[in-house]
Amino acid sequence: MVIKNDKDILFKSIEEIGGLYRSKELSPVEVMEATLDHLNDSEPKLNAFITVMAEDALKKAKEAETSFVKGETVGKLHGIPVSIKDIFMTKGIKTTMGSRILNDYIPEEDSDLYTTLNQTGAIIFGKANLLEFAYGSVHPDYGQCNNPWDINRTAGGSSNGSASSIAAGIGFASFGTDTGGSIRLPASFCGIVGLKPTYDTISRKGLFPLSDSLDHIGPLTRTVRDNAIVMEPFLNKDLNYESIFSGSIKGLKIGVIRSLTDSITDPEVSQVVGSSLKILSDLGAEVVSIDIPGVDKALEIAFPILLSEASHYHKEWYPKYADDYAKGTLLNVKEGFNITAVKFLEAVQKKKEFANKVNATFSDVDLLVCPTSPCPATETDPSFEDTSYDFTQRTIPFNVSGNPALNVSAGLTSADRLPVGLQFIGRYYDEATIYRVADAFQVAIGGFTKPTF
């Protein structure tokens, strides 16, 4: 099967690619070569990758091909091209964190994420661009990652390279990090699926931390079903795909977080979200209004924790290497040293109280829903200094509470044809219900929409 110029193959599902491998209609080498070709063609416009491990990826693709030729029993991710954010340690492979300070840093150990992905047989071919240290702003040495829906706009942050590349068909999944929305917001901007699983589901060993209390690791994919396949090796249980992806959500009760939904001022985002809620109702879910006390104050809880913990991890570099940071990152690192122990401990206590409030809502509903972002993709990266939009208002509450939360594209704005994200939030360790509802919704709106890139 010749696929060198057939980009459609790169947008197939993981299940479809695996089926073609097993029937020997398609080779992992062909898919890896096509992925790398597409990456090379796209990179001048997207700037989605910092490091590409082409030689090693092709070697592993050949090994995977041999496994399929021999008819060996392998897992769902065997031979599937996957990327990771350049903040996970990879032994012998440059890991920059998107920073000038660590431009030539080569770890001596692998992160647990990298180890587990290799064990599944997935082929990790690249390390994706990101905001510096997943924090503050992009470093000018690396440059902004652009959005395949409009290359004059940002892919978001901080897992921008992961989101941009997946939307563009470069790889079938990517793993990013989310401390305040850094998986879900770029997923929203780029029109893909991004999951922040329950806190501590995926081991953070070998991840350079931003805020250990708020950091989550999760997958970005084009479809909900792909997301579940990629996530399963990290769960303590097998997912019942037949049950999850039955297409039925009848009888489920979904609570619309009114304060986070009605406060959207962008009329096109409001229109898409309103239509989405009707679709959920038409699918048989009971859609009700709900409010979470203090949800609008979650930023005030998160920031003393995030800022102080982040600065703790940077104490060996600041102020010694102050001139090497990007401006936005430097401002945040400096501010963290001003947080008192009293403010930090007060925030930790409020974090526990808020988590209890969020989880109390699940006595009344099965799932929560709200918009992911207040607007579609902007021209430049969102930052803490930008007061025109409060980008993390709808995402960071669930970093504070630790609940699983997923973005799925809800449709496009009519004027600029840009994706609008819808966020589903579930009970602890109940990613399955999120997947069930998000998949039924994604199927109902016609599945993943390819960008115009």
Say which of 158, 174, 276, 373 is annotated catalytic: 158
- 158 labelled catalytic: yes
* Catalytic site residue from 27, 42, 159, 182: 182
Decide: 156 and 382 in contact? Cβ < 8 Å: yes
Number of H helices, E strands in the chain: 15, 13
- Measured distance CA(263)–CA(238) in Å, rounded: 38
Q: Is 253 a catalytic residue?
A: no
The H-assigned helical ranges of 23-121 are 28-46, 54-69, 112-120
What's the CA gap between 409 and 184, in Å, rounded? 10
301, 393 contact by CB (below 8 A): no
User: Is the Cβ–Cβ distance between 96 and 214 less than 8 Å?
Assistant: no
For 134, the token pair is 């997943």
The DSSP code for 170 is S
SS3 84: strand
Two structure tokens written together for 348: 């930790």
Q: Name the active-site residue from 12, 85, 127, 350.
A: 85
Residues 301, 304: Cα–Cα separation, whole Å: 7
C-alpha distances out from residue 169 to 37, 82, 123, 165, 394, Å: 11, 11, 15, 6, 27
Q: Using CA atoms, how far apart are residues 263 and 182, in angstroms rounded to an integer?
A: 21
**Bond into 158 cis (ω within 30):** yes
Distance, first Cα to last Cα, the chain: 25
DSSP-assigned beta bridge partners for residue 287 = 254
Q: Is the dihedral of CA 176, 177, 178, 181 positive or negative?
A: negative
Q: How far is CA 448 from CA 83, 107, 166, 193, 221, in A?
A: 19, 36, 11, 9, 10
- Say whether 111 is catalytic: no
What token pair was written down for 175? 């793993």
CA dihedral 401, 403, 406, 410 (to 10 degrees): -70
For residue 394, give the amino acid letter: R
Active site amino acids: 85, 158, 182
